[in-house]
Structure 1
Amino acid sequence: MAVEAIAAKGQRMGPIRRIARQLDLHPEALRSWVKRAEIDAGRAPGQTSEVTERIAELERENRELRRANEILKTSAAFFAQAELDRKTQ
């Protein structure tokens, strides 16, 4: 509704304020939703929601893999030291 009103009027904040008032929303919330919808539709520059979600997913996976690598390094060092201790006894 807001995107159509903006396209029809050629202005942004007037229609956003009016529609936000009608829907009992804060105008800034509606403005950010409209901006996100325009980016996702390719009408405005920026990263789409899909790309943003994929980046977040990859960053989570990267953190998990780094943590797993640290655990493996620590356990390898522990077992290597235990093997050395066993051989010297």
Structure 2
Amino acid sequence: MSGRSKYPEQFRRDAVELVNSSDRPLRQVARDLGVNHETLRSWVNTAKQASEAGPVEDSAVTDEVTRLRKQVAELEKEKEILRKAAAYFAR
């Protein structure tokens, strides 16, 4: 759904969900919503293609997750060292 649409994204998602969950024909749903039936058909097809493609792998997210996992491991090591030091000095 490229470009600037006069319909908000949430409206488009709701309209597609209505088409998928309703037993009414697409043309009737489009008429009830005040949307051109071809526009609604395009939204439905785009949503179907997106769901078939599955989640998009974002390299920035993957890199961030890897970085954060390394940071967590490092912090856990530091915590263990500090715990042992606290136990030693508490004696």
| Fold match (TM-score > 0.5) | no
Q: Name the structure with the higher helix share.
A: 1
**Pairwise TM-score range, normalised by the shorter structure:** 0.3 to 0.5
TM-score if structure 2 supplies the norm length?
0.40
